[in-house]
Chain A
Amino acid sequence: MAESKETLKAFQADVAAWMKEHVPADPGFLLPLSFLEVGTEQQLDFLRAWQHKVWEAGFLGMHWPTEYGGQGADPAYQGIVDREMARCNAPIMFNTIGLGWTGPLLLEMGTDAEKSKYLKHILSGDEIWCQGFSEPDHGSDLGAVQTKAVRDGDEYVINGSKIWTTLGNYADHMILLARTDPTAERKYDGLSFFLSPMKVAGVDAVPIRKVTGEYGFNQVFFTDTRIPADTLMVGEGKGWGVAMKTLEYERGVTAGQATGHWMVAIEIDDLINDLRGFERDGAPVFDDPAVRDEAVGLIMEAKALSLSARRMGVPALTSDFPMGLPLSSKYRGTEWSRRMKLFGAAMQGAQGSLYVEDPNAHRGGFWQRAYFSNFGATIGGGTSQVQANIIAEHVLGLPK
């Protein structure tokens, strides 16, 4: 159902007004740049309260069905909310694995019982979700995961370990990819997908400190962990397909996310405006021809990304490689973002050597932390190198 421009404009004004009134002030402690860096109870409580407030106001899951806590509206509405949140520098919607991946997955493939049980609590922030895909020995090669799930009556017994588990130490549920049949001829056919509880005996989440100095990741150990058999999704041996569908939501190839506001958006204008305050050779930094040239390159890349997004809406200009632009957007966007943030850190002269905790660090070491933090995006959800393989194989048709 297409909404009239006037209706959407009026809605945008409502959202802007609400945000202006309710976006919380700086809490006085460091907030994470994305959902991947929620590392303290203080941050968690703050972000959970904020998400709850946004949901209560009717601004989260705008296009999810009302019976599951959504607003049953056109997806355009969530786009408006997300843009307004970004514009007001509103804190992020932290429960991303629920809001962005599990939620749309359940809406597409879940049973009514699963939808009723989980969706509303994802939106309200009452129940936190994490993802159990990667393992210490199996990151990029997801099909080879070894965590075992063995059926025992009405339960499965889980043994093994998952890693890079964002929010794992706070989560109530995990989307878990585990091996139910180690003897399957194709490794993919031995995998099953569970909506596994986390607050049960035999689950141990150990926080991992990151290159940024922050927490957020965990290694999760399962030791004879018993979970109800009805947490199995779709069916035994069908896990790979469900996991691939999840990755479509994670990579943004498929829409349906309750929000896209899961990170502090750092745009090219932030970089250019911020760097104007720095000097080189006793003159403004942008008097230096080499710096100017680098900046032009970054601006051009940012513009190309914006233009690709627009070109996706012009079928006549995408017919040569129909899936090319969506399948390359993560690769292009995250790599550009890393280089841009690196430039922000590198153009500060000696100031660039200070880090977050130093009182004299420029904007609290914003660019330094953002640069390090961005590796979460170029590695997580399939590394850039794997993304390049995907583009080569699925867009260009090159052999595996």
Chain B
Amino acid sequence: MTSVLGNVSLKFSDEQSMLMDVARGFLNDKAPTDKIREFLESDQGYEPQLWEEIVNLGWTGIALPEMVGGAGLGISAVIPVAEAMGHALLGTPLIDTTLAGQLLLRAGGAEQEPLLQEIAEGRIATVAFLDGGDWGGANLALTMTTEGVLSGSKTFVGCGHEASLILVVGQCDNAPAIAVVDAADLKAGAISVNTLIDLTKRTAQIDFTGVPAKAVLTGEHVVAAIRDYRLLGALLTAAEAAGSAARCLAVIVDYLKTRKQFGKLIGSYQALKHPTVDIYCGVEDARSFCYHAASLLDADSLSHDAEIACRMAKVSAGQTMSYAGDRAVQFHGGIGFTWDCDSTLFIRRGQWSHQVFGDAIHHRKRLASLLLD
């Protein structure tokens, strides 16, 4: 009888290792926290020049095939980069653009290759998926005609205010479909930007009614690609959250080692020590699940094992980051309650990571079916 533990492989390639070193080094230099803070209230939420450098480093093409100008390393190689981005608390359109690239790669045929090339070269792309607040819903309310005219709106579109290429999930002839939309074709006033809990992130509500699509993708592989997009979105978010949680842990530990009360360093009190150990253990688990999931990914549609791994990674990292951010505020005491303390950034990131691509309950419910039925 097979074990309920299923596949427990964990591989880490030289390419992943190299990307991890490069990303950590680059972001340490270029994205210190004061730099992150400087752009929190800008339109984009990040330093434009930094995004240019990220594109020049080739990060938007890591997961895309070489024939469209990518590095051909697959989505698993993006995990260490997403983790490093999370560690730096850096937003940017990298995750949205990467996911849009995966959706187009998996759903589109050869005729989409020029667009994939543009994504690899740094064209900002995103996926318009949610109809409302329910990550578990079908999110197919938006309709499109076979001629490619859209009707309906989407919300919480990542980087929706600046994406130049938008893949809109909806239905065509009562079947799931994806419209490829050039943002230049949107009507004036179609975009309204959300005010998000995480100051480093940006999403928008977009009205697509009457917008002509460049292409409409339909068929079996579109259904599979949308499923993969949701799972890969959960995994990249998990990797990012794992990085943020590790950084949050470092900040908590640092404070516990320097702050004195009642004549003692507060880190010597077990009431603070033991929850900090729980955060540490959570970070280790989240990383294990993320890199385990990365070991199971390739260009094919995600396997049963990969689905389980992505969902577990999201549960683990989401819960850990949410808890770490919560404790960061509490353990910093009065100063932790202030805007200027970095715990503000962490608790807000925690609430973002927790929900995006489905919260822990969403994934645990699905894991129960995958593991027990």
Contact = CB atoms under 8 A, between A and B. Distances in A.
Contacts of B372: 272, 286, 292, 295-296
A397 B257 contact: yes
B277 A388 contact: yes
A268 B280 contact: no
A299 B273 contact: no
Interface of A: 267-269, 272-273, 286, 289, 292-293, 295-297, 299-300, 302-304, 306-308, 310-311, 314, 316-317, 320-321, 324-325, 328, 331-332, 385, 388-389, 391-392, 395-400
Contacts of B277: 328, 388, 391-392, 396
B274 A303 contact: no
Contacts of B367: 296, 299-300
Interface stretch (B6-14, B43-51, B113-121): B6-14
A38 to B, nearest CB: 30
Interface in B262-317: 264-265, 267-268, 270, 273-274, 276-277, 280-281, 284-285, 287-289, 291-292, 312, 315-316
A393 to B, nearest CB: 8
B5 A398 contact: no
A324 B371 contact: no
Nearest to B13: A316
B1 interface: yes
B10 A314 contact: yes
B10 A311 contact: yes
A293 to B, nearest CB: 6
Interface of B: 1, 3-6, 8-10, 12, 16-17, 20, 246, 249, 253, 256-257, 264-265, 267-268, 270, 273-274, 276-277, 280-281, 284-285, 287-289, 291-292, 312, 315-316, 361, 364-365, 367-368, 371-373
Contacts of A297: 364
User: Which 6 A-B pairs have CB atoms at the shortest separation, nearest pair first?
Assistant: A307-B288, A292-B368, A398-B267, A304-B285, A392-B273, A310-B10
Contact of A391 (B4, B268, B280, B315): B280
Contact of B292 (A296, A307, A325): A307
A282 B371 CA distance: 22
A307 B273 CA distance: 25
B288 A304 contact: yes
A53 B8 CA distance: 34
A271 to B, nearest CB: 9
B292 A392 contact: no
Contact of B273 (A295, A304, A389): A389
A308 B287 CA distance: 9
A195 B80 CA distance: 50
A304 B289 contact: yes
Contacts of B315: 300
Contacts of B312: 300, 303
A269 B3 CA distance: 6
Given A295-B368, A316-B17, A332 B281 contact: yes
A321 B249 CA distance: 12
A243 B97 CA distance: 56
B12 to A, nearest CB: 5
A317 B289 CA distance: 12
A299 B270 contact: no
A311 B361 CA distance: 27
B10 A328 contact: no
Nearest to B280: A396
A307 B10 contact: yes
Given A268-B5, A300-B312, A389-B273, A396 B253 contact: yes
A390 B305 CA distance: 35
Given A296-B367, A299-B4, A314-B10, A308 B284 contact: yes
**Secondary structure of the B side of the interface?**
helix
A316 B364 CA distance: 30
Contacts of A272: 4, 372
Nearest to A395: B280
Nearest to B9: A310
Contact of A400 (B4, B253, B268): B268
B129 to A, nearest CB: 25
Contacts of B364: 293, 296-297
Given A304-B285, A324-B284, A399 B246 contact: no
7 contacts: A295-B372, A296-B371, A317-B287, A389-B270, A396-B249, A398-B273, A399-B268
A311 B291 contact: yes
B5 A302 contact: yes
A331 B365 CA distance: 28
Contacts of B291: 311, 314, 317
Nearest to B12: A314
A224 B83 CA distance: 62
Contacts of B361: 293
A293 B365 contact: yes
B8, B274, B288, B289: which has the most chain A beta carbons within 10 Å? Answer: B288
Nearest to B363: A296
A306 B10 CA distance: 10
Contact of A303 (B8, B246, B373): B8
A388 B77 CA distance: 34
Contacts of A306: 5, 8
A385 B368 contact: no
A357 B18 CA distance: 60
Contacts of B270: 385, 388-389
A321 B281 CA distance: 11
Contacts of B316: 300, 304
Contacts of B276: 392, 396, 398
A308 B280 contact: no
Nearest to A328: B281
B86 to A, nearest CB: 14
A282 to B, nearest CB: 18
Residue of A267, A297, A314 with highest tally of chain B CB at under 10 A? A314
Contacts of A321: 280, 284
Contacts of B249: 396
A292 B20 CA distance: 36
A297 B364 CA distance: 8
Residue of A267, A273, A310, A395 with highest tally of chain B CB at under 10 A: A310
B288 A398 contact: no
Contacts of A299: 4-5, 367, 371
Contacts of B274: 385, 388, 392
Given A296-B364, A398-B256, A398-B273, A308 B3 contact: no
Contacts of B6: 303
A397 B12 CA distance: 28
Contacts of B373: 286
Given A300-B315, A300-B316, A396-B277, A320 B246 contact: yes
A303 B273 contact: no
Contacts of B16: 316
